[in-house]
Amino acid sequence: MIVGNLSPPAPLTRDAFAAFGDVVEFDGAAISVINAGYAERARDLATVDLGRSDGKPSVSIFKAKARQTPMTVTLMERHPLGSQLFFPLSGRGWLVIVCADPADPKSYAVFRATRKQGVNYRPGVWHHPLIALEDGATFLIVDRTGPGGNCDEVAVGGFHLAF
């Protein structure tokens, strides 16, 4: 059942996303030249926070099915013990939905990320599961593995989103 509407996606920028975590992208970062001129490096692009309760870094690849517009947001999740980074490895961009209060559609922010933009959710930030726009799109994930429950899910809305 639709009980509210979300705003259409806005461009993903570091400033707009600052309350939720890091935008991981080369453009706009401080650059240093390394490897005898064979590479430019943009470093420390994300605050990767994984060590709580004996956590360790984990690297995954997700292969996604495309979401279709319009979609209804019915679930949000958060990882209280660690940050979670997503970076697209293929495709033409993807969507990011975050919120302060899953029950309040006015607290939601929806972003369209480009092919060259990843995000790193801070621990505890409510976000929607991965939203790919092409079937078979792949993403690299850096998050936490370790003891303790690290995924809260909550049923919401539904909230209508067109993109």
Residues forming contacts to a copy of itself in the complex (CB under 8 A) are 24-26, 29, 34-46, 48, 50-51, 56-65, 67, 75, 85, 87, 89, 116, 118, 120, 129-130, 132, 138, 140-142, 145
Q: Tell me the closest approach of the beta carbon of residue 106 to a copy of itself, in angstroms.
A: 25
CB of 106 or CB of 136, closer to a copy of itself:
136
Q: Tell me the closest approach of the beta carbon of residue 24 to a copy of itself, in angstroms.
A: 6
Angle at 142 between CA 140 and CA 145, to 5 degrees: 130
Specify the pairing of strand 152-161 against strand 4-5. parallel
CB of 111 or CB of 120, closer to a copy of itself:
120
CA quadruple 105, 108, 109, 113: dihedral, nearest 10: -100
CB of 65 or CB of 106, closer to a copy of itself:
65
- Which amino acid, residue 111? F
d(CA 113, CA 87): 10
